[in-house]
Structures are given as structure tokens and as C-alpha cells.
Amino acid sequence: MAEIAIRAVGLTKWFGEGETKMMAVQDVSFEAYFGEMLFIVGPSGSGKTTMLSMVSGILRPNEGTVEIEGTDIWGLSNDQIAAFRLAKLGFVFQDYHLFPRLTTAENVAIPLILQRHDWNEAMAEARRDLKIVGLEARADLPPVKLSGGEQQRVAIARAIVARPDILIFDEPTASLDGDTGRSILEFVRREVLTDKRCIIIITHDPRIFEFANRIMNMEDGKLTSIEMVGGKTTEVSGET
């Protein structure tokens, strides 16, 4: 049986109080495994990004726990959580989060620089991953000179450069054409996914569903089903 990478239990998040209280995620529990690509899908406003922010140590839940590789991340201090994320997780955000004053290669190298890698080594690794995502020729340009799709690919290269155990992607193909999106996912499955790595992807893009091992469906802040791609769907009702 595959080793558990992430275990989330009873994750709940609301915003506001009293009459203005809005329940964003309600009692979501699941496990993600090393060696799989787990997709999280659902309509806008279903709680996908809020839930993933809690799982990845960005947004503290009101209720529930998250264990990553056996570590209760919300039992750590803020500084410990930040260090844990840097060491264990790689992120691709929907709005890229690139630094405008840095070159494309420097943006990709950031995780390695933060981990105190040698500058030349970090830049060489950054250029290697830019070549993989088809942007080697853009290495010395600032993000403002890139298209939206190119910026997304830079963000993907940055996420994989430090070879983290867990990769979390928020709409990684939203700004990419179909062929480019598929090539990115093919690369991730071929070169990045191993039996020692877990990949979680939030997406609205049905063109890439075939790359998932399992698909979690969310609606109105709740987990409604977990589908094995090409296999059985487990309906979720009541407590998850």
C-alpha cells in the first residue's frame, strides 16, 4: 500500500462572525499518497483553493488537522511552518507570484537560493528547468516581457527546481493552450512524479483529467466524491 503523504481530518474554515459568517470549507477529510497525482475539482466558490491553502500551511483552519509526512503542521510555530513549506512543498499559484525586478531564471532559482545553494549552481538548475518547460530563450528577461502562459510556465519551473516531496498546483494550465498544457502535465508525470513524491492539482481543465490518479470533487465547501480515474467513484455524504 502506498505511503501517506498528506492526511487531512475535519478541515473547516469560515470567514466573519454572526450574520456575516460564511462557511468556506466544512469538515473535509482525505488522504493523499506518494506516487499519485490527486486532482481537486469543482465549480468556482466550492472551497478548493481555501482547502488547499489549509493543507499547504498557508491558511490556518478554524477546525481540523493536517499531517504532512507525519508532521502536524498546524502544531508548529509560524517560523517552523515557513521552514517546513520551503523544505517539503513546491507551489504553482494561479496568479504566478513572480518578482518583477528579477529575471526569469532568478525567479526560478528562488527556492534554491533560500535553501542557501551556491548561486551559480542554483542558476544552472533554473536554466535547466526553464529548458524543460520551453523557456530557455527567456531566461534573462523580466516577467513583464513574458505572456501570461509563459509566466505560468516559469512558475511551474520554480515549483520543481528544488525537487520537493509534495507539489501543489493551483490551475497550472489555465493560461496555456491545449498542447502546451498537456506537454507540461506529461513532463510532470514522466519526470517529476515518483513513488516518493505526491502531486496535488486544483484545476477546471478537463483536458488534463486523464493525468490524474484520483479526482476529488468539491461543492459548497464539502467533499462530495473521490473518483479513481478509469475506476470506481466513492460518494461522500455526511462526515467525510
Tens digit of pLDDT for each residue in 150-191? 888 899 899 989 989 999 998 888 877 888 788 878 888 888
pLDDT of residue 234: 60
Mean pLDDT of 71-98: 91
**Strand pairing report for 37-41 and 214-219:** parallel
pLDDT of residue 232: 58
Is residue 49 a contact partner of residue 93, using CB atoms and an 8 Å limit? Answer: no
DSSP secondary structure string for all residues of 180-223: HHHHHHHHIIIII--TT-EEEEE---GGGGGG-SEEEEEETTEE
Non-local CB neighbours of 180 within 8 Å, separated by 6+ positions: 134, 149, 153, 173
End-to-end CA distance of the chain: 21
Over 80: is that where the pLDDT of 63 sits?
A: yes
Across the chain, mean pLDDT equals 91
pLDDT of residue 90: 92
Cell of 180: 502546451
pLDDT of residue 183: 81
Q: pTM for the full model? A: 0.84
Q: Give the C-alpha separation, 239 to 59, whole Å.
A: 22
pLDDT of residue 6: 97
Most distant CA pair in the chain: distance in Å?
55
Tens digit of pLDDT for each residue in 17-50? 988 999 999 999 999 999 999 999 999 899 999 9
Beta-bridge partners for 4: 33
Residue 239 confidence class, pLDDT cut points 50, 70, 90: very low
Residue 233 confidence class, pLDDT cut points 50, 70, 90: low
Three-class SS of residue 46?
coil
Beta-bridge partners for 167: 90, 199
pLDDT of residue 78: 94
Q: Give the C-alpha separation, 40 to 27, whole Å.
A: 16
Q: Give the C-alpha separation, 43 to 104, whole Å.
A: 32
DSSP secondary structure string for all residues of 135-189: -GGGTTS-GGGS-HHHHHHHHHHHHHTT--SEEEEESTTTTS-HHHHHHHHHHII
Beta-bridge partners for 139: none
* CATH number for the domain running over 4-235: 3.40.50.300
Of the candidates 42, 73, 36, the residue with the CA atom closest to the CA atom of residue 58: 73
Tens digit of pLDDT for each residue in 196-221? 999 999 998 898 999 999 999 999 99
pLDDT of residue 161: 92
pLDDT of residue 230: 67
pLDDT of residue 236: 62
pLDDT of residue 184: 78
**Strand pairing report for 63-68 and 4-15:** antiparallel
Three-class SS of residue 228?
strand
